[in-house]
Amino acid sequence: MERPKWVAIVTGILAIALGVGYLLLAQLLDYRGGEFLPAPLEPPAILGEGIPGSFGRLS
């Protein structure tokens, strides 16, 4: 076989291995538990509580 064919075959095998590895890693991280909760709709209570330079209440 010519060298370009070998390079293409090795590159293809490497791409498939990386793709499968990525999918396995994503599954592993997904199965490790924890409930997906939506982000809170209101800002944290820390903001606007008299912290200098905050953009909360202007009192």
Distance CA 50, CA 57 (A): 8
Does the pTM exceed 0.75?
Answer: no
> Which pLDDT tens digit goes with each residue over 21-30?
999 999 998 8
Whether residue 47 contacts residue 56, with contact meaning beta carbons closer than 8 Å, is answered with yes
Residue 17 has pLDDT above 90, yes or no: yes
- Determine which helix (DSSP H) or strand (DSSP E) holds 3, and give its type and residue range: helix 3-31
DSSP state of 38: P
For 5-15, how does the pLDDT look when each residue is reduced to its tens digit (9 = 90+)? 999 999 999 99
Distance CA 28, CA 23 (A): 9
